[in-house]
């Protein structure tokens, strides 16, 4: 079934002879098992996945094959896979509402990646900002997996007839490329893939570094004080927020010339579910100190239930293993079905 997302948020299944039946939109998103999962990942992506879980037909994936573009240690990758799986469950992803699995458990992702490379232009991949940032002109010394990264991401998304891809702002270009690849395939071989839409929220899609509000909070930042890890203990959280850079002046307001305060207010507002304007009013004339003290407690309180669930999951490794194995079975069943269609369209094998 091929359907474009409709503005109402519902895809309509074509079922000749019967009245159109609304079906739930399909959501797919992924996250790399690379190091410390931080507040930016949580607010920009995972929290939204959790909040919308009951509305959609969801698939969430630990993309370990993507992480191979940068991780070269076997033990690190294994450990990161386990930690991230536990973190997703602790953050509230629910296997009763969402398929949660490890990318490498469903081999169809790598197969589709290769097939899609035949409709992806080399120039398109070299123009990706993430590639340019990460490769940084060191062409001879970065793996070609870094260049191929968006083709595998397109495969992840197109494999499941995805309508919506909830991500942070930095992934917008990769979703646009996914649409281009899907459209090119459809034009060449006939309608096969649904063209997905990015789902990027107005707030939180770009949480900035606590040390430099012109840079995004990033797993690859060398300084541990630039980001808050979801596993940071309360005192570490308090210390990092106390040290966070602020703007000149004393007023707690969000404004284009106050990037640091805008970032801190955004974090406060998202975690407390209060509008930024209400916070500006509350802290008028109170200065940065009082604001930061309260913000630290808001973050500590938001992390506490996640950290408690994480401790339970860490103490019982078989729990996540069973959930991810079941998730892979469910994802694989859909992937096998789609790949049969793709192979046939392309004329692979004897048919
Ligand atoms: P990554 O850490 O690159 O695997 O990203 C996982 C998800 O978190 C993606 O949807 C990103 O767009 C999102 N993300 C990463 N960093 C940030 C940030 N600083 N602010 C908001 N979202 C982010
Ligand atoms: N590239 C994404 C990131 O760095 C991770 C990712 C891989 C992804 N496959 C995906 C995100 C499919 C959304 C959909 O955040």
**Which long-range contacts does 295-300 make (Cβ < 8 Å, 24+ apart)?**
295/241, 295/264, 295/267, 295/268, 296/237, 296/238, 296/241, 296/242, 298/268, 298/271, 298/272, 299/39, 299/228, 299/237, 299/241, 299/267, 299/271, 300/234, 300/237, 300/238
| C-beta 59 within 6 A of ligand 2 | no
Atom of ligand 1 nearest to the CA of 217: 19
| C-beta 28 within 6 A of ligand 2 | yes
Give the pLDDT of residue 268: 97
Give the pLDDT of residue 83: 94
Probe target for ligand 2 pocket from 41, 151, 174, with the most ligand atoms within 8 Å of CB:
174
Beta strands across the sheet bearing 98-102? 98-102, 57-62, 26-31, 164-166, 197-199
Give the pLDDT of residue 119: 98
Give the pLDDT of residue 222: 84
Atom 13 of ligand 2, nearest CA residue: 29
Atom of ligand 1 nearest to the CA of 32: 4
Query: For residues 285 and 256, what is the distance between their CA atoms, to the nearest angstrom?
Result: 20
Query: For residues 278 and 331, what is the distance between their CA atoms, to the nearest angstrom?
Result: 43
- Tell me the catalytic residues: 134, 216, 219
Query: For residues 324 and 271, what is the distance between their CA atoms, to the nearest angstrom?
Result: 28
| C-beta 207 within 6 A of ligand 1 | yes
Residue 252 CB partners (closer than 8 Å, separation 6+): 261, 265, 279, 280, 283, 284, 286, 287, 288, 291
| Half-sphere exposure in the Cβ direction for 339 (13 Å, CA) | 19
Probe target for ligand 1 pocket from 168, 207, 259, 263, with the most ligand atoms within 8 Å of CB:
168
Give the pLDDT of residue 2: 40
Probe target for ligand 2 pocket from 35, 46, 48, 63, with the most ligand atoms within 8 Å of CB:
63
| C-beta 168 within 6 A of ligand 1 | yes
**pTM here?**
0.90
Q: What domains can you pick out in the chain, each with its CATH number?
A: 2-200+317-346 (3.40.50.620), 224-313 (1.10.240.10)
| C-beta 165 within 6 A of ligand 1 | no
Q: Per DSSP, what are the bridge partners of residue 58?
A: 27, 98
Average pLDDT by consecutive 10-residue portion of the chain (351 residues)? Answer: 42 56 89 91 94 96 95 91 96 97 98 98 95 81 92 98 95 97 98 97 90 92 92 97 95 95 97 96 94 98 97 93 97 98 96 85
| C-beta 27 within 6 A of ligand 2 | no
């Amino acid at each position: 079934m091929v359907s474009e997302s409709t503005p109402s948020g519902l895809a309509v299944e074509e079922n000749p002879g019967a009245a159109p039946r609304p079906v739930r939109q399909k959501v797919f998103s992924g996250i790399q098992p690379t190091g410390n999962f931080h507040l930016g990942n949580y607010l920009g992506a995972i929290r939204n996945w959790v909040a919308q879980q009951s509305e959609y037909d969801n698939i969430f994936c630990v993309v370990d094959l993507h992480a191979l573009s940068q991780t070269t240690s076997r033990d690190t990758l294994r450990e990161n896979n386990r930690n991230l799986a536990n973190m997703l469950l602790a953050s509230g992803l629910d296997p009763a509402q969402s398929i949660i699995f490890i990318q490498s458990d469903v081999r169809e992702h790598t197969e589709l990646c290769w097939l899609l490379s035949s409709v992806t232009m080399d120039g398109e991949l070299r123009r990706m900002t993430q590639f340019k940032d990460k490769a940084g002109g060191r062409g001879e010394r970065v793996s070609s997996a870094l260049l191929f990264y968006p083709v595998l991401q397109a495969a992840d998304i197109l494999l499941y007839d995805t309508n919506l891809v909830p991500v942070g702002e930095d992934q917008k270009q990769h979703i646009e490329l996914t649409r281009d690849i899907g459209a090119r395939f459809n034009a060449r071989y006939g309608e096969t893939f649904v063209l997905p839409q990015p789902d990027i929220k107005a707030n939180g899609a770009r949480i900035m570094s606590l040390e430099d509000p012109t840079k995004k909070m990033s797993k690859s930042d060398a300084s541990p004080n630039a980001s808050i890890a979801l596993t940071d203990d309360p005192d570490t959280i308090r210390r990092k927020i106390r040290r966070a850079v602020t703007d000149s002046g004393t007023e707690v307001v969000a404004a284009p010339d106050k990037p640091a305060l805008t970032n801190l207010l955004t974090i406060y507002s998202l975690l407390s579910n209060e509008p930024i304007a209400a916070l500006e009013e509350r802290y008028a004339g109170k200065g940065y100190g009082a604001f930061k003290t309260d913000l630290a407690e808001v973050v500590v309180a938001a992390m506490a239930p996640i950290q408690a669930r994480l401790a339970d999951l860490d103490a019982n490794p078989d729990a996540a293993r069973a959930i991810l194995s079941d998730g892979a079975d469910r994802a694989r069943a859909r992937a096998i079905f789609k790949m049969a269609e793709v192979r046939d369209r392309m004329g692979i094998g004897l048919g």
